Amino acid sequence: MENLMPTGMRTLCRVTDIPENGAKGFPGADGAFTGLVAVRQGDNVYVYENACPHIGTPLDWTPDRFLSVDGRHLICATHGAEFTIATGACISGPCRGDRLTPVDVVIRDGSIHVLGDG
């Protein structure tokens, strides 16, 4: 079968590798300082750079722990900022009004791919 995936894309994982209404972290690509976080809600997957807009630290305090207890928001472990999952907008905390950096995603054949070095 012909591989139609554009060059310059990085495969993160299968959609089903992320729990429903869960999140998963990924290290930066070779040479990249910042990793990524992917959140799955049903068939939708949202990917952001794993860096808080406040001072740039990773959001998770332990691997793959990114979400609020109710699973409705991404949370920064450093100072508790909350972000909407679908937009990355900070809705409370020291960077309120700022937002996470989104990463373009392609889902093909059940796998999540991101553009660039991600």
Minimum Å distance from CB 111 to ligand FES?
Answer: 30
Based on the shown chain and the rule CB under 6 A, indicate whether residue 55 belongs to the binding site for ligand FES: yes
Q: Which of residues 36, 38, 67, 76 is near ligand FES by CB under 6 A?
A: 76
Which among 7, 46, 6, 12 has a CA at the least distance from the CA of 27?
Answer: 12
For 20, counting Cβ atoms within 10 Å of its Cβ (0-12 exposed, 13-18 middle, 19+ buried), the class is exposed
Q: Which of residues 21, 34, 35, 54 is near ligand FES by CB under 6 A?
A: 54
Q: DSSP E strands: which ranges in 15-85?
A: 23-26, 36-41, 44-49, 73-75, 82-84
Question: Rounded to the nearest 5 degrees, what angle is found at the Cα of 12, between the Cα atoms of 8 and 14?
Answer: 125
Retrieve residue 35's tokens.
């990793």
Based on the shown chain and the rule CB under 6 A, indicate whether residue 75 belongs to the binding site for ligand FES: no
Q: Which of residues 47, 81, 112, 114 is near ligand FES by CB under 6 A?
A: 81
Based on the shown chain and the rule CB under 6 A, indicate whether residue 23 belongs to the binding site for ligand FES: no
Minimum Å distance from CB 90 to ligand FES?
Answer: 8
Binding stretches for ligand FES (CB under 6 A): 52, 54-55, 57, 76, 78-79, 81, 93-95
